[in-house]
A and B are shown apart, each in its own frame.
Chain A
Amino acid sequence: MGEPVKTIWKVTRKNVAEAMNKSERLDGRKPFEARPIEITFGVSNKAEGSVKVKMGRTEVVCGIKMNTQEPYTDHENEGTLTTSMELLPLSSPNFEYGQPTIEAVEIGRVVDRGVRESRFVDFEKLCIKPGEKVWGINVDMAVLNEDGNLIDAGALAAILALMTARFPEYDEKTGVIKFGEFTDKKLPLKIENMPLTTTCFKIGDKLFIDPTREEEDTTEGRITIEITKPEKEEMITAMQKGGDATFTQEEVMKMVEEAVKNFKKLRTLVDEEVSKFEKSAKKSKK
């Protein structure tokens, strides 16, 4: 696929749209076929948890940093979570330095919403002393190479980083965190609530997932769907429509159906990768 450029050529958009109209894609994929995903844990040994997710040519890293802080007044016995996305100028000619753009803000907020609303994190277990001190989890994502579908790549990276993060050493008497020294203690996560994200895009009347940059530049709209499966039945835990397109009720339901299908694939991937990580972590301990 060609390098992403600031304004893609009209002819590229035309080619993408014409192919999509025949339910074909320029890279030969089917509409609901995702690019291969590669996962690398431990991209920073300073972070409490970190991972790189590669989806085709898109690369996103996510690191977890923990700190202690005062709780919010309306949630005195709960820890906190903040999520951010940095669209690094090194990753694309389309990104520039300065205040976070609305694209970055939106990705941070959509990923945050899925993690929070699915009840994946047990916030009460992050409480050290009610009303005084709680753990804060910072989920920071950054793009290393941009080729479309940043929401899904970021959301997956966030889940994997949270799953593999370990608390740093913490001295309860002095309240000092020994950064860089890690315990074996995992974050209090409710694995059964794990949210996984699929964004469906639309060109003309065709729906598809996991766009490259030139495909994403050709679309007029998308709906991000975050699925969780706390018990037997899948549930939608967050949604966000983006772009100027409009959708019929049938299109929305089709997208939900595809998001549920993709959830199952992603769930298998996460389980496999995390258990591989845990095995290798055990080995290196010995």
Chain B
Amino acid sequence: MKERKNNMTDKSLYTKRFDGRKLDELRPISAKIGVVPNADGSALFVQGDTIAIAAVYGPKTLNPKHMQNPEKGVVRVHYNMLSFSVGERIRPGVSRRSQEISKVTEWALSPVVMLEELPGTVIDVHINILQANAGTRCAGINAASMALAHAGVPMKELVSAIAMGKMDKTIVADVDKEEEDYDDGEGATDMPMAYLANSGKISLLQLDGRVQVDKFKEAIEAGREACKKIAELQMKTLKEYK
């Protein structure tokens, strides 16, 4: 091992997590299938204080007709935070943020759906956040992935997502709001990511903050492990559903 000249600079200011979790420990997670009786498939995913509901309608014929793709089906995601899901009320309706999250969620889910079997159709995925404490896009993806399975949509595998973070120099799993606002040292870096449960491929990756290349590598590797825990719960919940 190379000797480092200044050991002090390698020490992270963030050694203990605000809520006492271990660095790789997720918040308590739970899930439920069939929460929206009208939908073809639905699921609720709870990650600490963050609660997401997803409902799937389809596959159904895509209208207007000119929107159809004769070669494959389309996944259409609508991500929405309810106005009362956060501290200061947010204006209901579509925002630039929600448009972007809807799109990256589509990109995260589409690779597992066998869309080539469903030409000319659309699968509508509606994600609503009831209660937000960071990691809402990830909780939304986790719920949506289960809702797609519940709807009986042909899928290759499940998708599991987690918000990884770097607090000063420390990599942590499943960032909460308090950590998201961490401001000491190098501050907080937010890295939401989604893995396909079996093949281990990445289908969602975003980052904002500042992170060194080797720390980033550490984060995506730890993110894979965190997603395995999510996938386990998703699978167990789906199997136990009657």
Q: Is B19 an interface residue (CB 8 A)?
A: no
A109 touches B96 (CB 8 A): yes
Q: How far is the CA of A75 from the CA of B99 in the complex (A)?
A: 25
- Interface window among B141-149, B172-180, B205-213: B205-213
Residues of A224-260 at the interface with B, using a CB-CB cut-off of 8 Å, are 228, 230, 233-249, 252-253, 256-257, 260
On chain B, the number of residues with a Cβ less than 8 Å from chain A's Cβ atoms is 32
Q: Is B128 an interface residue (CB 8 A)?
A: no
Determine which of B99, B191, B205, B212 lies in contact with A233 in the assembled complex, contact meaning CB atoms within 8 Å.
Answer: B212
Q: How far is the CA of A204 from the CA of B106 in the complex (A)?
A: 20
Q: Is A108 an interface residue (CB 8 A)?
A: yes
Which chain B residues border A228 with CB–CB below 8 Å? 210
How would you classify the secondary structure of chain A's contact residues: helix, strand, loop or mixed?
mixed
Which chain A residues border B212 with CB–CB below 8 Å? 233-236
Determine which of B206, B210, B221 lies in contact with A240 in the assembled complex, contact meaning CB atoms within 8 Å.
Answer: B206
Flag A247-286 by CB within 8 Å of B: 1 or 0 each.
1110011001100100000000000000000000000000
Which chain B residues border A249 with CB–CB below 8 Å? 200, 202, 217, 220-221, 224
A113 touches B202 (CB 8 A): no
A113 touches B205 (CB 8 A): no
Of all chain A residues, the one with the shortest Cβ separation from B159 is A246
A256 touches B213 (CB 8 A): yes
Q: How far is the CB of B154 from chain A (nearest CB, A)?
A: 16
Q: Is A105 an interface residue (CB 8 A)?
A: yes
B200 touches A252 (CB 8 A): no
A245 touches B111 (CB 8 A): yes
Residues of B184-232 at the interface with A, using a CB-CB cut-off of 8 Å, are 191, 196, 199-213, 216-217, 220-221, 224
Most buried by A among B97, B209, B210, B216: B210
Q: Is A217 an interface residue (CB 8 A)?
A: no
Which chain B residues border A252 with CB–CB below 8 Å? 202, 205, 220
Q: Is A223 an interface residue (CB 8 A)?
A: yes
A102 touches B217 (CB 8 A): no
Which chain B residues border A236 with CB–CB below 8 Å? 207, 210-213, 216
Q: How far is the CA of A43 from the CA of B201 in the complex (A)?
A: 44
Which chain A residues border B196 with CB–CB below 8 Å? 246
Flag A85-99 by CB within 8 Å of B: 1 or 0 each.
000000000000000
Q: How far is the CA of A102 from the CA of B98 in the complex (A)?
A: 10
Which chain A residues border B131 with CB–CB below 8 Å? none
Q: Is A18 an interface residue (CB 8 A)?
A: no
Q: How far is the CA of A29 from the CA of B180 in the complex (A)?
A: 42
Of all chain A residues, the one with the shortest Cβ separation from B196 is A246
Which chain A residues border B200 with CB–CB below 8 Å? 248-249
Determine which of A106, A117, A230, A248 lies in contact with B100 in the assembled complex, contact meaning CB atoms within 8 Å.
Answer: A106
Which chain B residues border A235 with CB–CB below 8 Å? 210-213
Which chain A residues border B110 with CB–CB below 8 Å? 244
Q: Is A118 an interface residue (CB 8 A)?
A: yes
B residues near A, CB below 8 A? 96-97, 99-100, 102-104, 107, 110-111, 191, 196, 199-213, 216-217, 220-221, 224
Contacts A237-B209, A240-B104 known; list 5 others, CB within 8 Å: A234-B212, A237-B208, A239-B208, A249-B202, A252-B205
Question: 21 A-B pairs, CB-CB below 8 angstroms?
Answer: A102-B103, A105-B99, A108-B96, A230-B210, A233-B213, A234-B213, A235-B210, A235-B212, A237-B209, A238-B208, A240-B205, A240-B206, A241-B204, A245-B111, A246-B199, A246-B201, A246-B203, A248-B201, A248-B202, A249-B221, A252-B205
A residues near B, CB below 8 A? 102, 105-106, 108-109, 113, 116-119, 221, 223, 228, 230, 233-249, 252-253, 256-257, 260
Q: Which A-B residue pairs are the 4 nearest by beta carbons?
A: A239-B207, A246-B201, A241-B205, A244-B110
